Amino acid sequence: MILSILLLIVGFVALILGANWLVDGATSVGIRAKLSPLIIGLTIVAFGTSLPELIINVFSCIKGSSGLAIGNIVGSNIMNILLILGVASVIYPIDVDRISIRRDIPAGFVATAALFIFANFTWGSLTINWIEGLLLLALAACYLVLTMKKNDSTGKKDGSSTNTEVEIIQLPMPWGKTILYLVFGIVGLYIGGELVSNNAQTIAKAWGMSDAMIGLTVVAMATSLPELITSIVAATKKNSGIAIGNVLGSNILNIFVVLGISGLITPLQFDVQMNNTLYFLFGANALMLLFVFTGKGKKLSRFEGFLMLLAFIGFMTYTVMTQ
């Protein structure tokens, strides 16, 4: 058991390092290909923080542990809102711009609703199959197109970039270093995915936990580390746009892209008890929206961040007690 826990930790480290190396290498290629900062930010950088969830889900699906795959995504999204936004807003109040209120927060509700409907009501089975996987990926494409159009129109109006645009201020790395980053990134993701998927299942069986529960807690918390680090750094630099954009974008991509690809690999078996956790996710989104519209200005205050952290503690307590 101790060895499994150590290997699980090593796997998470390999996943995070591999994701960072792959993103850096791919960004260098994008700069050399003369892609705009907006395109690089909306594709390579935005998708980078969801890579750990994707890799773990792919390996879990291949090995027949689809419960871990769904638990990983739902748990990560709850933690992204309650824990990560809570910590970030306690560090520095987060201003929420109109684009996030009109586009990203509603998209988060739509993504959660799509997961709930697909898992419970379509084709009379509690699964997310390849058809629903394609539908989720189609919704992801619609969201990305809408995002690019909104950012492009905003930039033309005021001549400046929006908060959701990631500024890429760097020169491309030499080709040799770029290739090394890409290779090491892929190898790190592969090794991390193998270690996490294998040892998470071993620990779940030893502790008498279901795959969905281990995905909802241990795996979800670990795969949320990239978002947590990014948002904390952004909050300390008083860059609230990146702090909330990172969380909202990751949550949307987790459901539309990560679960979409997972559903293409194998039908994802859905445990009806997971509906209680989906209700928590709906509640977390609603709580975030409520806090945005209460108080002075469209922002998450330090006090509201503290309340979100209390809600996260309540969620974790409920999850452990019910298990």
Q: For residue 17, how far is the Cα from the chain centroid? A: 16
According to the model, what pLDDT value does residue 240 have? 67
Question: How far are the Cα atoms of 6, 75, 283 from residue 120, in angstroms, in the given order?
Answer: 36, 18, 18
According to the model, what pLDDT value does residue 111 have? 95
Q: Which residues of the chain have pLDDT under 50?
A: 155-169
Helix (H) or strand (E) holding 269: strand 268-269
According to the model, what pLDDT value does residue 67 have? 80
Widest pairwise Cα distance in the chain: 58
Query: Which pair of tokens denotes residue 63?
Result: 């090995």
User: In terms of Cα–Cα distance, which of 320, 284, 288, 278 is closest to 73?
Assistant: 278
| Residues forming beta bridges with residue 128, ordered by sequence position | 268
User: In terms of Cα–Cα distance, which of 136, 85, 15 is closest to 245?
Assistant: 85
| Residues forming beta bridges with residue 300, ordered by sequence position | 94
According to the model, what pLDDT value does residue 141 have? 92
> How many whole angstroms separate alpha carbon 137 and alpha carbon 140?
5
Query: Which pair of tokens denotes residue 128?
Result: 């997310």
Domains of the chain as residue ranges with CATH: 2-322 (1.20.1420.30)
Whole-model pTM? 0.79
